[in-house]
Structure 1
Amino acid sequence: MRAGHPLILYCYDEPAGIPEGVEVRDAATILPRESIIRHRTGSVSLFSNWFRYELQRQGAGIWIDSDIYLLRPITENRSFLFGFEDVGIINTAILRLPPDSSLLKRLLKIFEEDSVPAWLPRRPRLNAWWRLKTQGRTGLSEMPWGVTGPRALTALAAEEGVTHWALPPHIFYPLHYTQADRILDPAFSLADMTASDSVAIHLWNENIKHFKDKPAPPGSFLAQLQAEGA
């Protein structure tokens, strides 16, 4: 909202502390609660990928992960909106896809669990094939982390010939995930971590979750985020 965008929060159970101005919608209007699937680690990121793709199928707007900090409004008026997080890897944290695109249909098809993703490494691919033959499902929850997210989008975007739509890393992902702890260091200002034309910065929640809620060092970007109530 600070960047000028209306914000819709989808949830099954409304959490406390929602900022004023955020529109809350029932997540069951996108996918029923019974659809929730978890990775073997317990993470719901697997379901989160399914949810964002279904959101695109319904033409419900741009998906933005909750650990994205917008620096300015997203003004890119393009059908395929996504960006590289690193060389050769397209991230799904900011995403818009045409509802009728073949790419989106193929991403959603993954969750039917009736075919083995070709981008899996050899051993997990063989395991998925075996589960499909013996259990009737490929077993997404047993596959390596991220198989339905960036790995899937990167592989299928290449097959569909739309990789050229991906924006360079410094637009949405100027802070590499290996540098996520820089937000804790007062020596690194926001300007140090972004480019002049960066639109967003990804905070990599999985990498900062062990310290993000603790009092941050004064002068750090995390201290600024905490002061903003982010």
Structure 2
Amino acid sequence: MTDPNRVVQGLWIGPSLSAMEQLSIRSFLAHGHDYHLYVYSVPTGVPKGTVLKDANEIIDRSRIWFYKHDGFASGSVSGFSELFRYALLHQRGGWWVDSDVVCLKAFDHPGAIVIATSNEAEHGVLPCTFVLKFPAGGPYTKYLLKAADRPDPERIGYLSIGPFLVQKMVTELGLQEHLAAPEMFAPIGWRGLSRIVRQPGGPTLKSVYRYFYWRSRWLLHPRTHPGAVRRSSYALHLWNEFWREGGLDKNKEYARGCLFERLKRRYLGAEAS
């Protein structure tokens, strides 16, 4: 792995890391990365080998904010996380990874700029922010930082300073060549969450019906297919916000054969059993 790709960076705000965040960090460490985790206070459950960094060096903790709108992602800190990653990448450059991204192979990508994408069915392939790579001090991170700075938590919409802002930048500044194919970092889209995590127990009549319904839909409308992990996949995005909205416990044990549990056994080992 080349030195510019060795360090990956993330943020955690909260008292403890769940199994999901531990899985994410351990997967990057297992593939030879140095993981720099920015925190405002040290949480419990930080995997050995993680390099803790003071998040105040990037943005002072007094500026942390949460979504206050009704509906999806209400109460989430994900909007502030978008601002933080832009500031971090502008100051220090390199890789940013969300804490729900599992590394499948080393991020030894030659590009100086990398923007993850996801397959949004009828909307096409769209830029996202869960994996980003930018050089420090460049015009692109400056653009993002200026546009996202000091939002109003009472009025700002979900995704408006995240993927929607990055999509706007890509179009305005012509960064299409830096978009990574969906299968590289999000081989399974959020519509395929049931491919990642399943409840224990055998199939039910409802689950069988849903299987054949979606199977027929995918055949008729291939762009709605949730995707699958491929050899070219660097990572798998677990779509934490949809777990949160669906009330899924990130520390719970799920069906042994589901992808989430298989990844836990691979990277967390005995800790996941």
TM norm. shorter chain > 0.5: yes
Counterpart in the other structure of 1:98: 135
Aligned length: 202
* Secondary structure, counterpart of 1:201 in structure 2: strand
Q: CA deviation at 1:13?
A: 0.8
Which residue of 193, 196, 200 corresponds with 2:235?
A: 200
Distance 1:216 1:34 in 2: 37
Is the CA contact 2:125–2:182 (under 8 Å) kept in the aligned structure 1? no
Please report the TM-score for the alignment, with normalisation by the length of structure 1: 0.81
Q: CA deviation at 1:140?
A: 5.0
Q: CA deviation at 1:60?
A: 4.3
Please report the RMSD computed on the Cα atoms of aligned residues, expressed in angstroms.
Answer: 2.1
* Secondary structure, counterpart of 1:193 in structure 2: coil
1:109 partnered with 2:146: yes
1:162 partnered with 2:175: yes
Q: Deviations over 1:107-166 (max 9, x none)?
A: 1112345xxxxxxxxxxxxxxxxxxxxxxxx63541220101111001111101112210
Which residue of 35, 40, 56 corresponds with 1:12?
A: 40
Please report the TM-score for the alignment, with normalisation by the length of structure 2: 0.69
Distance 1:111 1:141, change over 3 A: farther
**Partner amino acid, structure 1, of 2:30:** R
Q: Deviations over 1:156-202 (max 9, x none)?
A: 11101112210110111101111112122499xxxx83012111110
Distance 2:57 2:168 in 1: 29
Counterpart in the other structure of 2:260: 222
**Between the two proteins, what is the percent identity of the paired residues?**
30
Gaps of 5+ in 1: 114-137
1:68 partnered with 2:101: yes
